A and B are shown apart, each in its own frame.
Chain A
Amino acid sequence: MATPTAEATREQPAVRTSPPWTWQRVGLIVVAIVAIAGLIVSWRYIGMGVTPLFTGIGNIFRFLGQTVPPSFTNFPHTLNEALITVCMAIVGTALSAVLGVIVGFGAARNTTPHPAVRWLARGFIVLCRSIPDLVFAIIFVEALGVGVLPGVLALGFHSIGMLGKLYAEAIEQVPTQPREAVTATGSSRLQNLMTSVWPQVMPAFSSITLYRLDINLRSSVILGYVGAGGIGFLLEEDVEGLNFKHTVGIVLVIFVLIVLMEYVSALIRRSLIGEDAPAISGRPGYKRRAAQPLPRWLGAMIPGQRPPLRAPVPARPAGAAGAAAGAARRDPTRPPWTAARVHQHLYVAGAVVLIVVSLWATKINPITAVTDVRQIWDTFRLYFPPDFSTDRAGLISGTLQSISVAMVATIVGLVFALPIGLAASRNVASPWVYRSARTFLVIVRAIPELILAIVFVVAVGLGLIAGTFALIVGTVGFLSKLIADGIEEVHPQPREAVLSAGAAKLQETVTSVIQPAAPALVGNSMYMLDVNFRSSTVLGLVGGGGIGFILYQSIQVLDYRTTGAIIISTFVVVLILEILTNWLRKQLI
């Protein structure tokens, strides 16, 4: 028998089995504690509770009783206004996409021409994001009068805040090697961007833009409330006149439009993103399908396209004769019309047609928008210098209330969104659970926040609690979708590896799905906090309390400089959230 050696019997140093305490680990724990403490403090500060909801449930039923059957009087007019709202969202999104691309390239670390340009672009992005679209709409209506153009400009400028930020992030994720390789060929800066960056960010840009279009369609309903055109104007008239049956008729029209838009954009997004997404279900991915030749009938319709042969392709005759025969069939330097190329051209053509038709339908003259710049500038100047002194206490308490509302809505929303998001992920849930969860999300997301706020105001009365409940429901719809989309992008190989090790389904989900998706989850939650803080300004419009309430009051009494002070306060809070989000993302990724 072997005897233990002197080395073996010597006492072994203690083996460390827990990760070392780094500043990063301490920081993350502190953030988690602050979040929990923040939730408790915020909950108490706004007097949140579920009791008012239960006691007010009778009010909701009474209110709903007044809304049935929905009335569709003057339906053609309603439909026309609804379509104008869609067109407004399309033009506004197109405007923000064009400006967002320019700002995004300026703000991305790897493409900015100068650090000063980067900070300027970042500042502009945060500014656009921190001013809610509703405030933009109020300013533009003030400058340009009631109509669709103020709505388009409001959507356009506010959306730069999200698009510019997400475009810049997509650009920063582009791998460096292709850029370096193209630089090494002697290309100019612009050539390099077009060759090595643009093709790589195109799918992300398209997906982000479609997402924004989705959001803008919902927002454009609210903008009509302050005279920025579209169906919101009709909605405001009916709510003010307590004509709830017609209100519900309008809401149903909006609902159908939003669901339709959701369906179309999901279809396009899947086609675009599917190209790079990992194959999860084992079905042939888009990349494989796109590389296939077009059907014979479609190929025959396109000049220069050789219809696919059913029989095996005969070997090409060697030498000049073969080359000549090949060249006679098709120009060898021209790419063939594959399904992918046809799709790409159809999408681009479709987008251009949609924008042109929307411009025509909304009767917007782009020249007017340019000539009115002076007028817009003069209106903007009314808000500066900001006056923080007139209602300092109101400003501070309003800001704190809005932060509290956003915090409670985000964390409570997250608790519900996590299981719903998992259920809505194709690669986690069974097909029927997935379909049910997705349908639920489409329904929840199709109800405008303003309507939710009105329902909760009816149930629990005017104030912060109504606004918080409305935001919780909105958060569940929005965040569940973000979580589901993020989880669907998780790579399948580590999951297979964990399952191969004998892990149970729940263990596998936690280890190889939730953990890899955690950085995105935290990032999305922080983004949601930011969105909810800004949304609270919108809810103030219908009595949802917070900074939105004092904002609306200052606008109504034409106290421009106090409005300016509120805008600056919102900007500062959004900027702090932005810095915190960036720090957290850096620690987690």
Chain B
Amino acid sequence: MHPLVEEGGTAPGWTANAAVQPGGSAVLDPTAEPAVRLHQVTKDFAETRALDAVDLTVPAGQMLAILGSSGSGKSTLLRTLNGLVVPTSGKVHVLGCDVTSARGQQMRKLRCGVGFIFQQFGLVGRLTVLENVLSGALGRIRFPRAGVLAYPRRLRLDALGHLERVGLADRAFQRSDTLSGGQQQRVAIARTLMQNPTVLLADEPVASLDPETSASVMSLLLEICQEKGLTVITSLHQVELARGWADRLVGMRRGQIVLDGSPRDISEEALMGIYRGVVS
């Protein structure tokens, strides 16, 4: 059972908020701001409506999994949270910052605190593993950097520490495109850790991995998130994985939230209904 879930009850984050502490663990605080708040968010891509008046509040420290078939709006929702996608209308607040109006420095500062793990890892193939991890610190430092030695030694040691944490310290100077898919996703996790995030967004982080690697990557991610008390929002395709992992499930279909509750309260049938399109 998830440590934040009380015996016989719902997840604490479900009802209580936690104070947001960049880089530190979440401390329960009922008066604190929610980590993420979306109000009537709509996003249109030409003729397609990817998000349709979405309302969502995620308390700090909560682990939320978004389920839904391809094209249901999961990725767009995640991308609106760190400004990679600008909504057509509505308001998005993350860590108290209005993402929809944030620009320049403000956006950079917000992104520093919001880690993002991509399905396709998003590593720069020609760079070494260590350089990729170090790129996670770019939001905190000035000037462009080229090469490992362009980063301060303190950051290099931090990056090596994170690589050690994900079990890849011995691959630090290998080109990242020579690693397997699972190893590349571990590097991506280490890069996110380098950001010292408070909120972690993961867009189908294990969709391109085999079941065994998926399980090991997800358990690593879970361990780290628990350790650091991160607020986690992830989109997943594997229903069973989501049930065992998250303390809140959100189902999406055609850009709308059609299901929202704790894994215990949502039946298997209702979950499968998201994919079959029978949930109203």
Contact = CB atoms under 8 A, between A and B. Distances in A.
Interface of A: 177-178, 180-188, 190-196, 198-200, 202-203, 275, 287, 291, 332-336, 338
Given A181-B188, A182-B135, A184-B84, A334 B112 contact: no
- Give the dominant DSSP class at A's interface: helix
A335 B135 contact: no
Interface string B169-205: 0001111001000000000100100110000000000
Given A188-B108, A191-B144, A182 B157 contact: no
Q: Which 10 A-B pairs have the closest CB atoms?
A: A186-B139, A181-B122, A194-B144, A186-B111, A333-B156, A187-B138, A184-B116, A186-B112, A186-B108, A177-B122
B111 A332 contact: no
Given A180-B122, A186-B112, 8 more contacts: A181-B123, A194-B144, A195-B135, A199-B127, A291-B174, A333-B156, A334-B149, A338-B173
Contacts of A291: 174-175, 178
A335 B82 contact: no
B195 A185 contact: yes
Contact of A178 (B112, B114, B125, B145): B125
A177 B112 contact: no
B122 A194 contact: no
B138 A195 contact: yes
B46 interface: no
B111 A198 contact: no
A188 B135 CA distance: 11
Contact of B160 (A198, A203, A333): A333
Contacts of A200: 124-126
A185 B138 contact: yes
B128 A335 contact: yes
Contact of B112 (A185, A192, A333): A185
A333 B116 contact: no
B160 A185 contact: no
A411 to B, nearest CB: 39
B145 A196 contact: no
Contacts of B145: 191, 194-195
A163 B124 CA distance: 24
A341 to B, nearest CB: 9
7 contacts: A180-B122, A181-B123, A186-B110, A190-B143, A200-B126, A291-B174, A333-B160
B123 A178 contact: yes
Interface in B112-142: 112, 114-116, 118, 120-128, 130-131, 135-140
Contacts of A335: 128, 130, 148-149, 173
Given A185-B136, A186-B112, A195 B124 contact: yes
B135 A187 contact: yes
B105 to A, nearest CB: 9
Nearest to A174: B124
B130 A186 contact: no
Given A184-B116, A332-B160, A178 B108 contact: no
A197 to B, nearest CB: 9
A191 B142 CA distance: 8
B123 A191 contact: no
B176 to A, nearest CB: 10
A337 to B, nearest CB: 10
A177 B194 CA distance: 18
Contacts of B121: 177, 181
Interface of B: 82, 84, 107-112, 114-116, 118, 120-128, 130-131, 135-140, 143-146, 148-149, 153, 156-157, 160, 172-175, 178, 188, 191, 194-195
Contacts of B107: 186
With a 10 A CB-CB cut-off, give which of A177, A195, A196 has the most chain B CB atoms: A195
A402 B147 CA distance: 49
B189 to A, nearest CB: 12
A336 B172 CA distance: 10
Contact of B118 (A181, A192, A199): A181
B99 to A, nearest CB: 12
B49 to A, nearest CB: 22
A346 B263 CA distance: 59
Given A184-B84, A185-B195, A200-B125, A334 B148 contact: yes
B124 A191 contact: no
B74 to A, nearest CB: 16
Nearest to B82: A184
B149 to A, nearest CB: 7
A199 B124 CA distance: 8
Contacts of A186: 107-112, 138-140, 195
A180 B118 contact: yes
B260 to A, nearest CB: 26
B206 to A, nearest CB: 16
Nearest to B192: A185
A338 B173 CA distance: 10
Nearest to A197: B124
A44 B191 CA distance: 65
B153 A333 contact: yes
B39 to A, nearest CB: 23
A191 B138 contact: yes
A200 B178 CA distance: 15
Contacts of B110: 186
A190 B188 contact: no
Nearest to B140: A186
Given A177-B122, A182-B135, A335-B173, A190 B130 contact: no
A192 B121 CA distance: 16
Contact of A333 (B123, B157, B175): B157
B53 to A, nearest CB: 25
A195 B144 contact: yes
B104 to A, nearest CB: 9
B109 A287 contact: no
Residue with the greatest number of chain B CB neighbours at <10 A, chosen from A182, A184, A191, A194: A184
A530 B149 CA distance: 44
Contacts of A182: 122, 124, 135, 138
B42 to A, nearest CB: 22
A533 B168 CA distance: 55
A190 B144 CA distance: 6
Nearest to A186: B139
A287 B122 CA distance: 21
Contacts of B125: 178, 200
B64 to A, nearest CB: 18
